[in-house]
């Protein structure tokens, strides 16, 4: 069985960069210096459209709604494939917060 996972526009890193650049942290979340991991789930349809947005783990202050609002604006994704056929796929997207700001996983610790 050959599976191809769905891919966001500009690839996974490009998508992450797009989120970081465009995500507006709600004022209340900044003021509250919110910490933690926000997780949303959504479906990538056979045609690459995104649907069925849900907040799986909420940290409050409308952070989840803001993320869903942004991801809804994403260009269509490359759909997932199973045995050569496009299939609907579930997708989970986490966003980390530290002191009211986006916490970006430190990729600087990579071994060279």
Indicate whether 57 pLDDT > 90.
yes
**15-31 confidence digits (pLDDT tens):** 999 999 999 999 999 99
**84-96 confidence digits (pLDDT tens):** 999 999 999 999 9
Secondary structure percentages of the chain, helix, strand, coil, to 5: 25, 35, 40
Indicate whether 112 pLDDT > 70.
no
> Which DSSP category does 60 fall into?
S
Output the pLDDT for position 2.
82
* Confidence grade of residue 1 (pLDDT, cut at 50, 70, 90): low
């Amino acid at each position: 069985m050959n599976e191809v996972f769905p891919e966001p526009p500009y690839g996974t890193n490009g998508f992450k960069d797009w989120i970081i650049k465009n995500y507006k942290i709600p004022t209340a979340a900044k003021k509250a210096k919110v910490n933690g991991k926000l997780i949303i789930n959504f479906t990538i349809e056979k045609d690459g459209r995104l649907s069925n947005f849900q907040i799986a783990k909420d940290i409050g202050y409308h952070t989840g709604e803001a993320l869903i609002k942004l991801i809804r604006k994403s260009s269509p994704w490359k759909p997932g494939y199973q045995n050569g056929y496009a299939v609907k796929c579930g997708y989970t997207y986490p966003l980390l917060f530290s002191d009211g700001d986006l916490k970006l996983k430190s990729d600087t610790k990579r071994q060279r």
